[in-house]
Amino acid sequence: MKRFAVASALILSLVQAAQLSGQASPDWNALARESQGILSDYLRVNTTNPPGNELLGARFHKNILAREGIEATILDTTELGPNRANLYARLRGNGTKKAIALVHHIDVVPVTPASWSVDPFSGAVRDGYIWGRGAIDMKGHGIAQLMAMVALKRSGARLTRDIVFIGNADEELGSMGAIVFVNRHPDLLKDVEFLITEGADNVLDSAGKVVYFGVGVSEKRTFWQRLTVNGVPSHGSRPTKVNPVPRLVAALYKISQYETPLHVTPGVDRFFRDIARTYPEPQRSWLSNVRVALDNPRAREWILSDVTWNAILRNTISLTGLSGSNKTNVIPGVATAEIDVRLLPDQDTTEFLRTLQGIVGDTAVHFTHLGNTKAPLESPIDTDFFHAIERAAHDREPGAFVTTPMETAATDRPTYRKVGITTYGFNPFKVPRAEIQRGMHGNDERLSLDNVGYGVRFYYDILRYAQ
């Protein structure tokens, strides 16, 4: 009797919950098939950057959204140049909570068609995969976002948060799409609390089961520098004291010998603690407290031997470009070098430049800042949206955990972070690392048909849980 009462109370509360959310659950198989077809079509839209042609992709989304009764706007066509555009759409909630933005980039990197097994812009379906440039980076991801939003609209779910859908131009080259969008449309973003886009990967075991889901909370910042030394040009047969090349080489040697201090940020600390469980002893103990482990020579050597781990534990400097004379017998009037500096999110650029100048110790070596250094990115972990991602992840893979790797490369996230939005990097699919390595910016990029439905439903759950 008691058991019956509990059961009926539970059923009643489930019914009430369903009524409250006003939701009819989607037909997942039908939605997956529909999404696969849409991804295939999207891959046929050639948005290779350069030149981009993102306007075609923006129109593609606008048409689909119009059919669903979701208004979309094509923006920034003048600012971005011929056939280029950003796309913006919004599914309205009741406004009691702030909005969530789903962001993907419409452009893709160029292809070498001869190296592909299929036409990279055919959207071919073969061997259980949808093939094409952008399948992984990141048109597949964009379609998972789009169709999750469409499914929420169709279900009639009562949303407390608006869902904003943004397609940006030019992520793969100059990031002008996101930069122009943020600068020109602060009004469209002012109520956005959370934003989700690319910038993390999930790690699978050899059987294809998820070991952990990565949610990117931070990324390194580029702080590129050009070093210039001026001298006096003359004939190489008579060495002089005013040859700029040895002076530059001496500066570069000092930089190459400089070991930047190790520094553990909160997200990286958590990342190591999280993944510790996947290692045997003594590595497990080392990773469980990486700050302490870095004082232990054996642990330190092992941790820093991983190039990614090394890069998330310190500011890094790679010596890359170098130029002096283009003739063996000419002492040049100027010698230059370029260095790829990447800073941890909490570092001060002015201070780091002073450190570099101090290491070089030669005022004849001039430093010029190249490119624009983006705003620091370190998003909080203890938020409603992060917990929604965790919950959706645990639903589908109870044995997996969620962790917070730092991105060593650059994404559009800092551009949005600059205006106060909490941004997360995410990947809604289960793709083996080898597949990502091969396909992303490489040849035969493809996404499994199963992953399409998986990604749409993953996003749908995250958006529902975040209400």
User: Which stretches of 265-382 are assigned E, i.e. beta strand?
Assistant: 316-323, 330-331, 334-343, 366-369, 377-378
Question: What is the rounded distance in angstroms from the CA atom of residue 120 to the CA atom of residue 46?
Answer: 9
Task: Kindly tell me which of 378 and 412 has the beta carbon lying closer to Zn ion.
Answer: 412
- Using CB positions, name the residue nearest to Zn ion: 137
Least distance in angstroms from the C-beta of 302 to Zn ion: 31
CA distance 320 to 302: 26
Rounded to a whole number of angstroms, the minimum distance from the CB of residue 49 to Zn ion is 11
CB of residue 136 to Zn ion, shortest distance in Å: 8
Count of positions (residues) in the chain: 467
The Cα 426–Cα 197 span in angstroms is: 6
CA distance linking residue 144 with residue 428, whole number of Å: 8
Half-sphere exposure of 82 (CA within 13 A, CB side): 2
Minimum CB separation from Zn ion for residue 105, in Å?
6
Asked if 76 and 70 count as a contact pair (C-beta separation under 8 A), the reply is no
What 3-state DSSP class applies to 219?
strand
Nearer of residues 102 and 251 to Zn ion, judged by Cβ: 102
User: Coil, strand, or helix at residue 429?
Assistant: coil
Q: To the nearest whole angstrom, how small is the minimum distance from the Cβ of residue 439 to Zn ion?
A: 12
Task: State the nearest-atom distance from the C-beta of 151 to Zn ion, in Å.
Answer: 24
Q: What six digits make up the tokens of 297?
A: 């020579």
Measured from the CB atom, the residue of 198 and 444 that comes closer to Zn ion is 198
Neighbour-count burial of 366, counting CB atoms closer than 10 A to its CB (0-12 exposed, 13-18 middle, 19+ buried) = middle
Closest contact distance (angstroms) between CB of 155 and Zn ion is: 29
- Please identify, using beta-carbon distances, which residue of 175 and 347 lies nearer to Zn ion: 175
Question: Cβ 349 to Zn ion, closest distance in Å?
Answer: 25
Q: Which is nearer to Zn ion, 137 or 170 (CB)?
A: 137
Nearer to Zn ion, 225 or 451 (CB): 451
The C-alpha R_g of the chain, in whole angstroms, comes to: 25
Comparing CB distances to Zn ion, the nearer of 137 and 201 is: 137
Nearest to 149 by CA among 108, 194, 92: 92
Nearer to Zn ion, 145 or 467 (CB): 145
203 and 308 Cβ atoms separated by less than 8 Å = no
User: Measured from the CB of residue 184, what is the shortest distance to Zn ion in angstroms?
Assistant: 22
C-beta closer to Zn ion: residue 148 or 410:
410
Alpha helices in 167-296 (DSSP H): 176-184, 186-189, 244-257, 266-275, 283-288, 290-293
**Footprint of Zn ion (CB under 5 A):** 137-138, 198
